[in-house]
Amino acid sequence: MDPKEEEKLIRISALILQKMQGTLTGEDRFFLESWLQESERNKQIYQRCLDEKLQRDAYTRLQDFETRRNFESLKAKISFHTSKKGPGLLKRLLPYVAAASVLLALSVVWYWNKDSNRLVETQREVVNDRLPASHQAVITLSDGRQYALNKGEKQVVIDGGGIRYEDGHEVAPINAAVSARIETPRGGIYEVTLPDGTLVKLNAGTTLSYPTVFAKDKREVTLRGEAYFEVAKKKDQPFIVHTKNQQVQVLGTHFNINAYQTSVPTKTTLLEGKVMVTTLLGSQKVTLLPGDQSVNTGTELTKHPVNVQQEMAWVYGKFNFDGKSLRQVMDELSQWYAIDVVYKGDVPNVSFFGGTFRTSKLSTILKILKDQDLSYHLTENGKLIIEKNDPKAQKGGQ
């Protein structure tokens, strides 16, 4: 989330509180009403902020939520004043409104469970846990040399002087190697600065192959997985990214490509500049401008405008589940937490909205994503079993 958007959400949080206190007037009332009219999602969040039970639950869950420090720092930015009208519902509600405000400011929407006993049972099922992805990757050179990158670093630089970390510490000389391949495992992320100065951020389970020295007339790399590119501008040397079913050509720009082997469509999202996407089959072409996304199904190439902040959530350290199905969400969690997801029985492919920070443990994510009709169980060997709750079991077998 960019600073301006965060400031807007923090302001909205404060205005919701003022609305409940009866102190909202003039321009602030108009601002809040305009925000409510922007989308149904905004209205839903607003209604949650007015629900005392939901906010009490939110406050309780936030006590052991991974981003408690963010909660405290954001809370300090907002002035919370108790009503002069004396005790009552509003005064009792203020601590929970604080929680709601932070949930709103962080764009976190939680799926609340109406059956607290069922929630406890589900939490007990998650007997194991998984930490979020960390900085880990392996570089393989064309001459056969292979190097596991230091987990204490987050970026590696490769140029004529060799391979080194961002602080200048050398990983290896280039010698006779003409190409390199950097791979992040599931549960790993890393950044690499290419010979031309282009910065690439690799998501979990991603492979990027590239020459140690680019050709004079073009810069070509091959991607499998997901990566964000900040391409160095070179007018006479276009930058080309090859994936499983397309190529993307740019001169200098910022964009993201999602091309996992397990995902049918390849998605290209543009933040800055201009890119041309060309399919390998049929040679279909589209030109993307900032805010556009192309979707390549292998047989059809289309483009449409998107919310870039939502599409690029992973680059900003967040999960965004808006409009995603259960299986899409679990595919993402599978990469990030290095787990295998197994669906047991007839599991409905429910949809979610909202999200949270990628620094959370898996158990925290499962609490947030929990649907009252689903249960989760993480085995010791890293399999996440998902199944629909048994109505008979919920009623004691009756």
Instruction: Give the up-direction half-sphere exposure of residue 85: CA atoms within 13 A in the CB hemisphere.
Output: 10
CATH code given to domain 134-311? 2.60.120.1440
As a whole number, the mean pLDDT across the chain is 78
CB 241 within 8 A of CB 221: yes
Please give the C-alpha separations between residue 278 and each of 228, 237, 246, in angstroms, as whole numbers.
18, 18, 5
Phi and psi based region of residue 309 (left: phi greater than 0; alpha: psi -120 to 50; beta: remaining): alpha
Token output for 387? 């199944």
Please give the C-alpha separations between residue 39 and each of 27, 35, 257, 353, in angstroms, as whole numbers.
20, 8, 28, 13
Residue whose C-alpha is closest to residue 310's, from 302, 298, 318: 318
Please report the pLDDT score of residue 12 as a whole number. 75
- Residue extents of the structural domains in the chain: 3-110, 118-130+317-394, 134-311
CATH code given to domain 118-130+317-394? 3.55.50.30
Please list the alpha-helical segments (H only) found in 106-215. 116-125
Question: Each residue of 90-110: pLDDT tens digit?
Answer: 444 444 444 444 444 433 333
The pLDDT > 70 percentage for the chain reads 72
Query: Is residue 275 scored above 50 in pLDDT?
Result: yes
CB 339 within 8 A of CB 382: yes
DSSP string, 314-326: GGGTEEE-TTEEH
Candidate from 46-60, 114-128, 231-245, 358-372 with smallest mean pLDDT: 114-128
Residue whose C-alpha is closest to residue 356's, from 324, 329, 322, 318: 318
Instruction: Give the up-direction half-sphere exposure of residue 54: CA atoms within 13 A in the CB hemisphere.
Output: 17
d(CA 92, CA 80) in angstroms, rounded, equals 13
Taking 3-state DSSP, the helix, strand and coil percentages for the chain, each rounded to the nearest 5, stand at 30, 30, 40
Say what the pTM is. Answer: 0.68
